[in-house]
Structures are given as structure tokens and as C-alpha cells.
């Protein structure tokens, strides 16, 4: 994540854990700390160093999980950065594992033609979808367009849902794929095409509580 993305994540985290702001404000500003003590800038620089290799969407998801009690909150505000970074990396690794599982699937052949038990996931058990953060961003873009504002560009983050076939039963922690709830990722298309597809899907399904659907299986 960039420094700006880190600042955005930190604002999100402070909103979820309001006591963190009190703790940060007690740390002296640069030039006002006692000898040998870190300044507020030093502390935040250490936080950024611990998290700069994390995807911002994964960091936000980790904060949401901690706020919901699905990720244990550590004792001591200074340990929050470590817990969030670890969870963000775990989420990224899980997503990559799902992607690899799909990419590594090998079909069976019948008369020279590839065949699969499940045409939806090609026997991988998972279906790539757009992350709720991207759906929310697309929804905000549509809302702005309706108010006469220029549409804002948004970042596309991938996620995964489990297929309803037998292979998908292995992924109990993932929500089952429902085309009315989740926007399926179209492979092979350009970024612009993907953005247009997501906007079109969101315009049709924008009233669906997608975060609630994810929370059930988090």
C-alpha cells in the first residue's frame, strides 16, 4: 500500500477503534518528545513499515474482522499493526491459493475434448468474484453520476466464493456463489471492460447487502 492508502486505512481503523486516536494523540509530536523517546511521526512510520506490503483492501477487511470479533484484538494498541498485517497477508495468501487452484485445474478428455464435472468452476471449487469494496466503490460512482458528478475511478479487488458443486464443499469458510449477490469476475477482459461490467452489474443489483452475505461466512 502507498502512504496515502495507509492513511486511509488508519482512518478506517481509528473509526472502528476510537481508543486508538486517544493513544496516538498522547505520543508527542516531533521535537517535543524526551530524549530517547519516539515521536508520533516515528511511531506512524513504524506502522507503515509493518504494513506497506499489505493490500489496502485486505487491511480494511482485517480491521472489519477485528471489529466484528472474528479476529482477536491484541492487548496494547501498538500490537494492532502486527495483528492487522498478519491477517491481511493471510487473506492475500488465501486469495492466491484460490486463484492457483483454479489455474491448476486439469480437465479430463473425451474424444479429444476437455470435460469437467462442473461447468461453473471447472472443478476448482471456487469462483472468482469482485470484492465487496469494489462493488461499494462502483455503487458510489453510480450514485455520484445520478447527482450529476463525474464518475470517480475505482480499484478492482478480487475475492472468491465457493461453488455449489461437490468440489466447493472443501471451502466451508467461503460464501456460496449466488449470481444475484456476487458479481462474477470475467477472465481475460481488459481493466476498462471489467470496470464497465462491474458498473453494469452493480446498477442492477445495488440494493443487495453484499457485506452481510460475506459476514455470514467470515
* pLDDT for the residue numbered 16: 92
CA–CA distances in Å: residue 4 to residues 10, 56, 116? 10, 10, 45
* pLDDT for the residue numbered 10: 94
CA–CA distances in Å: residue 20 to residues 63, 65, 95? 13, 17, 29
* pLDDT for the residue numbered 206: 65
C-alpha to C-alpha distance for 154 and 156, rounded to whole angstroms: 7
> What is the pTM (predicted TM-score) of this model?
0.50
C-alpha to C-alpha distance for 125 and 167, rounded to whole angstroms: 4
* pLDDT for the residue numbered 217: 40
Chain centroid offset of residue 216 CA: 16
* pLDDT for the residue numbered 20: 94
From first to last of its 218 residues, what are the pLDDT tens digits of the chain?
A: 888 889 999 999 999 999 999 999 999 988 888 887 889 899 999 999 999 888 888 898 899 889 988 889 999 999 999 999 998 888 887 766 655 555 555 556 555 666 677 888 877 788 888 887 788 878 777 766 666 555 555 666 777 888 888 888 877 778 888 887 888 877 666 667 777 888 888 888 765 544 444 444 43
Domain boundaries, the chain: 3-97, 108-215
Amino acid at each position: 500500500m502507498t502512504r496515502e492508502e495507509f492513511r486511509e486505512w488508519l482512518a478506517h481503523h481509528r473509526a472502528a477503534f476510537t481508543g486508538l486516536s486517544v493513544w496516538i494523540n498522547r505520543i508527542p509530536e516531533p521535537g517535543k518528545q524526551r530524549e530517547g523517546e519516539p515521536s508520533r511521526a516515528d511511531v506512524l512510520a513504524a506502522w507503515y513499515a509493518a504494513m506497506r506490503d499489505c493490500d489496502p483492501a485486505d487491511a480494511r477487511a482485517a480491521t472489519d474482522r477485528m471489529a466484528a470479533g472474528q479476529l482477536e484484538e491484541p492487548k496494547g494498541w501498538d500490537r494492532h499493526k502486527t495483528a492487522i498485517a498478519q491477517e491481511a497477508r493471510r487473506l492475500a495468501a488465501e486469495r492466491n491459493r484460490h486463484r492457483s487452484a483454479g489455474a491448476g485445474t486439469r480437465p479430463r478428455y473425451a474424444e479429444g475434448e476437455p470435460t469437467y464435472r462442473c461447468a461453473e468452476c471447472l472443478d476448482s471449487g471456487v469462483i472468482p468474484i469482485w470484492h465487496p469494496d469494489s462493488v461499494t466503490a462502483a455503487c458510489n460512482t453510480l450514485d455520484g453520476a445520478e447527482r450529476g458528478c463525474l464518475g470517480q475511478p475505482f480499484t478492482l479487488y478480487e475475492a472468491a466464493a465457493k461453488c455449489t458443486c461437490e468440489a466447493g464443499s472443501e471451502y466451508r469458510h467461503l460464501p456460496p456463489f449466488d449470481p444475484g449477490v456476487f458479481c462474477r469476475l470475467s477472465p481475460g477482459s481488459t481493466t476498462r471492460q471489467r470496470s464497465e461490467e462491474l458498473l453494469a452489474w452493480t446498477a442492477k443489483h445495488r440494493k443487495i447487502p453484499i457485506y452481510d452475505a460475506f459476514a455470514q461466512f467470515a
